[in-house]
Structure 1
Amino acid sequence: SLVEQFYDLKQINDEFRAYDFKKNLEAKEELIHQAEVLTENADVIHSFRVLQELHHQWRELGPVARELREEVWARFKAASTAINKKYQEHFEKQKMREQENLAAKTLLCEEMEAIDTSGLNSLAKWDEQTKAVLEIQAKWKTIGYARRSDNEKIYERFRAACDDYFNKKTAFFKGKREELTDNYKKKLAMVEEAESLQESSDWKETSTRLAELQKKWKTIGAVPHRYSDEIWKRFTTACDAFFKRKKDEQGDMRSEERENLKSKKAIIAELETLDSEEASEGIIDRLNALAGRWNSIGFVPFREKDTINKAYRKLIDGLYDKLNIERSNRRLEGYNASLEQLEGGGKGQLYDERDRMTRILDRMRNELQTYTNNLGFLNISSKSGNSLMREMERKKEKLEEDIRLMIEKIKLIDKKVEELNSKE
């Protein structure tokens, strides 16, 4: 009958429906399992994207048994909520990091913009400041991105501050080269004038003019390194040539100078005897006494000065002045240790140190030349003249010793530079 057919069909339909519910439940439980696994995944971006696909698949599935629908959905929703929360937290943390990065980069921009280059008036100071700038740039690279809308702006600001600094540095070095070249031109003109005067016989006028040139020379700064020694040698050679001619033309030395020469020769004879004797207690006192006598004696004839002084120094070097040589060696060793520290900064710092030493050497040479000239002007016939001349002679000898030490220091620097060149 129709009723029986109806119930038969209904039973078949119920069986198919129960079967669909079962299959749908199995599929949804698999999706729930996948979602729950995703909650433990550290890659929240990947988890969120996979979750979207799981939701799409969930919507494509049919229903499950009515009594299970709420429970199944609640499980899937709980896993989805956990993933969505992690996803949200991830972007909140990222936003916070971007804000922190922006703040850190802003501080570096302000640090660059606050650099005052007005006080950077030497190569060494520029090198020191440039190291700090490079450290700031290195720190910038360690900071992550800011928000996209801010990242380009903050980078442009930082790059502008860096460009401004390096443009100023370039301008300084260009100005420094121009200054060195200008100083060279000025000193070259003075050299040419001194050379034109070295054969002059107008003793008074030329002496005054050369003294003026020597004084002016000290007011002019350094010249390019490759010309420094050459131009100084030309200038001093011309000045020395004139003053030597002046001395030679003024005739024999006064009798007092000849007597001084005899006295100094007598001291040298005593030193020769002392040098041949074995060291004994009290030798320092004897050396001090001889040195005191030597220093108390005035000038000797100009033509004999170098010979007698060299003979004296040769003897005293092995005795009394041996202490001074040891002290000089210790000073050189200490200076060599300081150079080893500069060596770590590269050739730039060594070149700066050499320029500084050369300027000091030029100044000492100028002072030495001034002492030499002034000694020629003094009236040695008076008592006060002799006293002043002895003091100036003492200072002159001290300057000569300091100049020798300075030359040794410059040689040490050159040796360090050669060692760095050989390593490159």
Structure 2
Amino acid sequence: MASGPPPQRRPSMTDAVDACFFAFSGVAAVWFAYVLLREGVRPGWPALLLVVFWIFFTYLALPRLHRILTRIYLPGYFIGRTRTSDGLLGDPVNLALHGREDQVHAAMTAAGWTRADDLGLRSGSHIVTQTLRRRSYAAAPVSPLHLFDRQQDFAYEQEVTGSPSRRHHVRFWRCPEGWRLPGGFAVDWLAAATYDRSVGVSLFTLQVTHKIDENTDVERDFVVSTVTGADPAVGVEVLEHFSSGYHARNGGGDRIRTDGHLPVVDLRRVSTGERTPVAVPTDSRDRRPATTVTGATIALLRAAVYSATVGVLLVAPRHARHLEDLGFSPHELRELAPVLAVVFAVAAVVDGGLGLAILAGRNWARLTLMTVCSLTAFTAFLATVGSDGRPIGLGSLPSLGLSILVLLALSSPSARAHAVHRQLPEIGPSGGDPASLASTHRGRQDPAP
């Protein structure tokens, strides 16, 4: 018999504050994109800002707008589809599995699949260079898709013709404890299998991404056939018409079609070998997300810049010309150099301390830094209201852009989930839903790096 929905945690004041930051960062990103566009449509070197505008609008502002809109109109319960990082409906969930995590790894490895690297700066840049060079990268990372409000726990893939632009791949999510599929069927894992046929531009976000083959059922059946063919202990049960057959598009704008069947692969009889340790259950929220690292790194870089500015003000204030964009004349800079040095020294300590605290998973530091960056963006906006010239000086664009980038990164769902998730043990068993508390227990066993 299907279990009822888990009790939901009542929204807190922190949730409301996070929602405000989430919305404000989207508005600020759109405004800054307009600033870049207006500054870029001028002759000469400022035209290079049009490239910055495209990158900022495509990869930051537009995805945040998608996130805000999808929070309004898309349901939060399971509907058989994953979500992209932008909140759009992603690939269909077309596989389910029984078994432990080590049995999933053993079955996929025996079937000739390669575990994909986690997406990071190094792996992301490597897949770009290997794609441009048309060279093999068997463990190329896959883009994050979300289910149960978190990205995939891991993914497996098989390259085709030695090119990372074409590959079979499947993402896996551990189901929360006690969770059941619609209809009451309990499984341990859900998965989404698709085939990357080429690299192209997303229809909805204009980002460069992989384009998948329309017939996702073929890839689903390919995964099942490779796993069952490699180990006769693997069993399969098909939930026919688990969902209605449909035609749709995924978050990249690619067409998808499926008959709605859901194969359930039973790996509980798969042998992992006597020397194979039992895998600790994973939870992607235990891993420090790139958005958290990005926000903290920018804070640390700003602290370094502020420290360098202090040195310039104390040693040679006449060379602090970048501060003239703040309205200081050369004479005022010389006169106020000691005072400004103290101000920038305090800013360096604050940004540096907050950056380190954010890396350590402190939610109060994340909220504090977002407050500081929001004040910076709002002050810059007020300074341009009613002005008949350019919205903002070119010299101030990098500082303002970094503040908005911090806002976008730290207000993202992944950064918030990581910061809040790490604090759940302090809440105790009286608060939070069972799935979150189960994930918290796993987090204590396998702490974030």
* Richer in helix (by share): 1
Under a length normalisation based on structure 1, what TM-score does the superposition of the two structures give?
0.20
Rg larger for: 1
Larger RCO, structures 1/2 (Cα 8 Å, 6+ apart): 2
Q: Per residue, is there more strand in 1 or in 2?
A: 2
TM (normalized to structure 2)? 0.19
